[in-house]
Amino acid sequence: MRISDDQRRARLVAHQLDLGAAGPAPESTVEGVVDRLVALHATDAPSVYLSVLARVPELRIEDLQAAMYDRRTLVRVLAMRRTLFVVARDMVPVVHAGASAAVGRRLRARLLKELATLPMDPPVEDAEAFLAAAEEQVHDALAQHGPLTGAQLSAQAPVLRTAFLPTTTKSWDVRRSLTSPLLSLLSAEGRIVRGEPTGGWSSNRFLWRPVEDWLPGGIPEVDEAEARVRLAQVWLEAFGPATLADLQWWTGWNLGQTRDAVATLDVREVELAGLGAGVVLRSTELPTGPGLGAAAGHVALLPSLDPTAMGWKHRDWYLGPHREQLFDSAGNIGATVWWEGRIVGAWAVRTDGEVVSRLLEDVGTEGAAAVGAEAQRIGSLLGGGGVTASFPTPLYRELRG
C-alpha cells in the first residue's frame, strides 16, 4: 500500500492539529491534547502552553495551569533523547521505563566518572559515597523545606555547592556546581519533578518537588521492554504512518530496541512517498480519495519545539525547503506557520505582545488572511506579554526585531 504526502498531511491535521473542530470532546481538553500527542516538548516553557492553545481555540493559559498544578494530571519528565517533556500522569510509568530509565543510567555513569576524574572543590575522595550523600541531602531538604528552587536547594543542601573546576583555558570551561547535573540525574531517575514556575507562566525556572507530589508512592515499576512496546504503540497512533527511523529518533532507542518494540505490535508495512518502507498500525484509519480532506483550509501557528514539528526524523513531506531558515544549528525548530498540514512560514511574539509572521510561500489571499486572524487570536490569549524562545532561529531573530 502506497501512502501519499497528501494523505499523511490530512491525517496530521485531523489527528494532531484541528482538535477543537468537533466542539466539546475528550480531545478538546488539556489532557486530551496531551494524549493525542503523547508528550509536549517542555524545554521551552511557553511551548507547552502554546502547543495546546494552537489546537483548541476554547482553551486558555489558566486551563494549562490548572491541569499541571491543581489537578496535577500532567507531569514534567526528563525522557526521550534526554529532553524535557510534559506527559499525562498515567503515562509516566511507561515513559519512565521506556525512555527515562536509560537516560538516568547514562547520566549517573557520566556524573560518577566526572566526580572520580575531574578536579573538585572541595576534593572528592569516593565518588560513589559522595553521590549517595548528595542525593540524601537533596531528599532531606525537599522533605523538610520543599518545594525549592535550585538556589534554595543549594542553601539547604551544601553539598550541591561542590564545584567542578576548569581543566582547560577555553572560554566555555568554567567553574560549575554540582546542582544542575545532580538535579537532572534525579529527575531522569524519577525521584524529583519540576513543579510550578517561579515567575510567570512563561518562565523556565521551576520549583523542585518530590515525585510523590504527583504520584503518591513514587513511579510504579514497569518492565522496560514492555514499556517500549507501549510507547511505540501510542507513538504510532499519534504519528503513524512513519518509518522505523522516525520512531528510533523520537524515542532515542537503538535500532534493535525499535525493531523489537514494533515487531510485537499489529502493524502493516506501507510505502511512504519519497521515503520507501514505513509502518502503520492496522487500526489506523487513513484518509482516502483525492484532495486534502481535513487539511483543506486549515491554519495553525505552532510554537518552537512543537511536538508535531519535531515528531519525525524525516520531515520533508511537511517542512519542504524551509529547514535552513526555521531550525537553529542544534536542530531545534522555531515557531512555524502551518497551512493545510505543511509548514509555510514562521512567527514570533515581540516584547510588546504583538504576534508577527512571515510567509515563505504563496498561500493565496484567503490563506494569508487566515494566518493573520490566527495570529490575532494567539496574541489575544497572551495578554499583551512577550514570549521569548530559548533557541532562536535565523528567521525568528528577524521577526523579533
22: pLDDT strictly greater than 70:
no
Q: What is the pTM of this model?
A: 0.93
Q: What is the pLDDT of residue 25?
A: 58
Number of H helices, E strands in the chain: 16, 15
Q: What is the pLDDT of residue 352?
A: 85
160: pLDDT strictly greater than 60:
yes
Q: Could you give the CA distance from residue 228 to residue 253 in angstroms, rounded to a whole number?
A: 9
Q: What percent of the chain has pLDDT over 90?
A: 84
Under the banding of pLDDT at 50, 70 and 90, the label for residue 40 is: very high
Q: Could you give the CA distance from residue 319 to residue 230 in angstroms, rounded to a whole number?
A: 28
216: left (phi over 0), alpha (psi -120 to 50) or beta: beta
Q: What is the pLDDT of residue 396?
A: 87
Domain ranges of the chain: 295-400
Q: What is the pLDDT of residue 291?
A: 57
pLDDT, one tens digit per residue, over 77-130 is 999 999 999 999 999 999 999 999 999 999 999 999 999 999 999 999 999 999
174: left (phi over 0), alpha (psi -120 to 50) or beta: beta
Per-chain mean pLDDT for the chain: 93
Q: What is the pLDDT of residue 290?
A: 59
Other C-beta atoms within 10 Å of 319: how many? 17
